[in-house]
Amino acid sequence: MHEMSLAGGILKLVDDAAARDPFARVQRLHLQAGALAGVEVRALRFALEAMAPGTRLEGAEIVIDEPPGQAWCLRCGQTVAIASRSDDCPQCGSHQLQPTGGTELKVVDLMVTD
């Protein structure tokens, strides 16, 4: 499950943020995991919660938004919504889609306490 390594990377980002601007713990962690990011959100939440004890994330509220996938169709020139990278263009049926949104996994913000 690569979500465990992703959770480890997120914990490292939290520690790096605390090193730059010291804080004791995170009250709320807000993430975005786009529909095309290849992340199983429930598994990521589980991994974060499993790794949190003894870290700055212990007891934190974890909010994970899931922006929908978007792509640019090279054939018809439209921006379209897609649920997976293997979808066809809903306008023209083309397979020539370039993902343009919903591919990100990012920390949106941290609410912290001293």
Stated pTM of the model? 0.86
Report angle CA 21, 22, 27 to the nearest 5 degrees.
Answer: 100
Q: Which residue has the tokens 């990100």?
A: 104
Q: For the chain, how many residues are written? A: 114
Taking only the tens place, the pLDDT of each residue in 3-15 is: 999 999 999 999 9
In the chain, the domains with their CATH numbers are 2-113 (3.30.2320.80)
Assess whether pLDDT exceeds 90 at residue 1.
no
